[in-house]
Every structure is written in structure tokens, then in C-alpha cells.
Amino acid sequence: MLSRLLKEAVARKAAIFSNGDMLDLMQGKGDPRSNKAALKVFRSALLSEHYFDSVIDSTADYLCSSECDYAGTNFIALGDGNHETGFQSRREVDCNAHLARAIKSRCVSSVSAGGYHGYLRVKIKTGVNAFQYLTWTMKHHHGSGGGGLSGGTLDARRVFTYVNADLAVMGHNHASNTVGLATEVLSSAKGIYEIKQKFVEFVRIGTLKDEWHANGWAVERGAGTGPAPICQKWVRLFIDYEYQNAERDEEGNMMKSRRTIPRINWEVTDAR
């Protein structure tokens, strides 16, 4: 499924962002969760004396191969999750920094290593004039906690008490949802103040890990929430225009406008 999604992202010429936990990193020596039997079945190439190097090299080889249409070129950032930071705290190794360098050594890519949280800002030329640009901001945080029956949707209101962004993205609890909110903005023009509202959106990314089996950690911890949605998210940005001081005919059709205001809009859909 990951290969299909990465191929579709390449076909769409999409920028790809990982919000953490792309690397498992639990099968090394000394990790209490290590299960070499699982490696023998699913990842036999990682059964080596250099487990970490094998994980990084095999991931970079995959992302820069025809198996996923060389999607490594489209990656822009690798965010940390608790799997990466957990490994770092035990081994003093920045996993995503190593992976970013490995990807760049195999294919043309501007990918960089991000942290457990941060911001992505997109700058788009409007086409109205040569010097006018619009910006769109996404806050990313890998997430924390289990989410419970709400799937973590209660985080939406909490996040926007301290975050100033258009979109906030979290993951971690393997739930998948979107919540639209409005924040209050005080705007001014020529000394005149006006209270307006700004639409913002909270997005919880799903997982690509199917672990709802007869036995295992997810089933034992399930607490009645059931299997996790196996999906990711697409975010499509586009520019639309707001016409002000427009003149209309008797039927309400717009005849001409004295002022056109471009703005960035977006839509979020499931990537399944």
C-alpha cells in the first residue's frame, strides 16, 4: 500500500512529508520489544550485525528505487516520532538525519530532517502581479497519548489555543479524522478595525500498519476502539479569488469587479 501511495504522489508531483514513526527501530540488540522472528519473516535483510545501518540503507534504497517510482525525490521533510526519538535517547543517534543523508546519496532530493514538532510554510505566487505571494502554514506534531474513543479529536481545540497556522497535523494514536474550526481575528484597514473569523483545520493522520490480528499489542491494548484506519492524507492547495466592489446585472451575474483578492484555500482527503 505504501508503494501505491508513493507512486500516486509522484504522479501528482506532490511534496511528501513524514510525520514520524516511519522507522520501526525496535529490533536492535537490547530493545525489550525486539522480535528477531518477525525480521526473519518480513525483513530478513535487516538480520545483520549492523541493524541500524541496515534499516537506514534499506529504507533509502527503497525510496530511491523503481518500486515506488523514486519517491525519495519528492520527500521534503522527515519528522520524528516516538520510535525515532526513543532510539535516539538510547543510542545517541539522529535517525532521520542519517536517513536524509542516505536518500540524498541515492537520488536527487531536498529532504531534510525535522523534529518531533515544527512548521512547514508554503509560499505561492498569485499570478496577480510579479511580486505578490501568499503563504500557507502547517503545524506538525507527531502526537502523544492514546486518543481514547474520541480518536484524539479533542486535541483540535487544544492545539489552536497556542498554534497560529492554517492546518495542524498530528498522528501517533493511529486514528484518522479531520476537524474544522474557526478562530477569531482582529483585522484593520486604514484605521478601521473589524472582527473576522478564520477557518483552520486539525488533521489526524492514520497509519499504514495492520496489526489487528488474533494476538498482539494493538489487540491487547484496544480498549474497545477497534482496528485502526489504514490511510494517510492528501492536502491539496489552490488559489481562489474574492471579488469586492463587484457590479452585477439584474440577474445577479457578475459584470466586472474593481478589486480582486487572491487567497490560498485547501482541501484534505483520505489517501487510501
Which tens digit of pLDDT belongs to each residue from 92-113?
999 999 999 999 999 999 999 9
Task: Report the distance separating Cα 182 and Cα 202, nearest Å.
Answer: 11
Q: The C-alpha cell of 102 is what? A: 542516505
pTM, full prediction: 0.88
Q: Which of 143, 113, 149, 161 is nearest to 204 (CA)?
A: 143
- CB within 8 Å of 219: residues ≥ 6 apart: 211, 212, 213
Q: Which of 44, 71, 47, 45 is nearest to 60 (CA)?
A: 71
| Backbone phi and psi for residue 186, each to the nearest 5 degrees, phi listed first | -100, 110
Domain boundaries, the chain: 1-115
- CA 193-195-198 angle, 5° bins: 130
More reliable by pLDDT, 235 or 31: 235
- The answer on pLDDT for 63 being more than 90 is yes
Q: Are 266 and 134 in contact (CB under 8 A)?
A: no
Q: Hunting for cell 484593520 — which residue is that?
A: 188
More reliable by pLDDT, 110 or 132: 110
| Backbone phi and psi for residue 167, each to the nearest 5 degrees, phi listed first | -135, 140
**Residue 52: its H or E element:** helix 51-63
Task: Report the distance separating Cα 216 and Cα 155, nearest Å.
Answer: 27
- The answer on pLDDT for 114 being more than 60 is yes
- pLDDT score at 223: 56
Q: Which of 113, 109, 30, 114 is nearest to 71 (CA)?
A: 109
- pLDDT score at 257: 59
Distances (CA, A) of 67 to 4, 7, 194: 9, 8, 53
Helix axes 51-63 and 95-104, enclosed angle (nearest 10): 40
Q: Hunting for cell 538480520 — which residue is that?
A: 47
